[in-house]
Structure 1
Amino acid sequence: MIKRFKEIEGRYIEKIIGQDRLAFAHSDTNDFYDLIEWAERGGYQGSIIMFFDFASGNVYKPFEKKRNVVYSSPVYAAGFYYFLQGDYDEKKITLYRYIPEEILEKVTELSTEEVNLYNLCIVGDPVHIISEQDNFECYYPEKISFPKEPNEHAIFMEDGKIYFEAWIEEGWDEEKGCATDDYKYYDKVIIRDYKGNKLSEEVGAIYQAADGTWWIA
């Protein structure tokens, strides 16, 4: 039997890792950095974030669509759902804590002038607001900044450590633009402290299971 949510809009929904109740969807694929380009074109129509409840079939929309507003993907931590709202007109990034029909609470607010909008997202438990470009930057709940390698991407933060995945490509023939017989593509897990010092490095990829536990594969 196929079940139906109480609102059908043809959205692709994604499970929120670490819990079994909700999935989510965005009304489009724009992110925070896109707001800058949209502003140069006269503005952006705005997007919404939707939460789909597998227990009740309800679809929740914490906010109505607003021009020049976009949302991050949510995370689940300590019994709450967290997401970022970026408002280009107000020049602010707001972190919300959410439980449908129970709580919608502003946790903190940052100016768009004090953050890098490129790859701006939430990681960790407790939640951290970070961005990544040439540097790893953390804006909340504490300020952290250090340079990182271009192939490194932060996955989560815990107990004073930052867990990065780094993609590795070996055996590529640059002149011919193709893989050789010795070609390999794999990930490494790199753990750094909050000053950027490398604590460990090993072959592996990080995966979060449905119950919230983290695994290296």
Structure 2
Amino acid sequence: MNIKTFKGFEDIYPEKVDETDSWYYAQWTPCSEAYEVPDFKNKYPGTRLYFIEYPSGKVFEPIKQGKNVFLERPVYEHKDNSFGIIRYDFNEEVIQVLIFKPDCYSVKIITEMAFSKVGDMINVRLVTSPFALVKHDVQSDTVDFLWPKEMHIQFEENEGLYFQNDGKLYTSKWIEDPNYREEIIIRDAETGEILERNPGYLRRMPDGSVWKMTR
């Protein structure tokens, strides 16, 4: 049995990054969401975000920890082996989208916007293919695209955005009437118009393919 030892990780729990078999991430943070940071009264120590390569076990910390700076969980983009990370800077009151490319160990800020544009910071996340910053209002079933384009889309009840690709939005909707079931909805990325609807669900696999589980 090959046992690897990671010193300094006693209270940090690695988790697999979705849609890749080669990477894990680990966060050190005294709170789980960005909107909780103001509760620390300007004394939030800053998130530490680690990337762990499998099977080598190499550990990377490409983004420096900063006081009152919260780092979201990374989102993997298979097309160019990169990670998107949302960085909340409560000192400057700005949100940044960073791209980390492990092949060349580079970190680049690709956009920045004021907190005022985002609002309460709840359900703000990155989706892939390509990267886009979105905010999902689960109460009103709407999604606002904040970057790289700005667009407001009204979804159906219990519908959520999964990913985008080739000018289409892929969403999942759950229904209970009374038995639980799911639907795959494909929308036009420019208009939000529904193009296709099927029973079932989608799974994105580590090789970049998409499995469509249906009847």
Sort the TM-score into its range (normalised by shorter chain): 0.7 to 0.9
- For residue 196 of structure 1, report the CA deviation from its aligned partner: 2.2
For 1:56 and 1:214, locate their aligned partners in 2 and report how far apart those are by CA, in whole Å. 27
The 3 A distance-change label for structure 1 pair 7 and 107 is farther
Contact 1:95 1:109 in 2 (8 A): yes
Which stretches of structure 1, 4 residues or more, deviate above 4 A after TM superposition?
Answer: none
For 1:65 and 1:54, locate their aligned partners in 2 and report how far apart those are by CA, in whole Å. 23
**1:145-195 deviation per Cα after TM superposition (whole angstroms, max 9, x unaligned):** 122234111000112211111111122xxxxxxxxxxxx112111112232
Contact 1:24 1:50 in 2 (8 A): yes
- Say how many residue pairs are matched: 202
Partner of 2:114: 111
Give RMSD over aligned pairs: 2.1
Matching residue within 171, 183, 187 for 2:182: 187
Q: Which has the higher contact order (CA 8 A, sep 6+)?
A: 1
The 3 A distance-change label for structure 1 pair 104 and 118 is same
The unaligned stretches of length 5 or more in structure 2 are: none
Contact 2:62 2:105 in 1 (8 A): no
Matching residue within 126, 129, 132 for 2:130: 126
For 2:5 and 2:155, locate their aligned partners in 1 and report how far apart those are by CA, in whole Å. 43
The letter for the 2-side match of 1:191 is I
Partner of 2:66: 66
For 2:134 and 2:197, locate their aligned partners in 1 and report how far apart those are by CA, in whole Å. 22
The letter for the 2-side match of 1:128 is A
For 2:204 and 2:168, locate their aligned partners in 1 and report how far apart those are by CA, in whole Å. 17
For 1:5 and 1:70, locate their aligned partners in 2 and report how far apart those are by CA, in whole Å. 27
| TM-score, normalised relative to structure 1 | 0.83
Sequence identity (%): 26
The unaligned stretches of length 5 or more in structure 1 are: 172-183
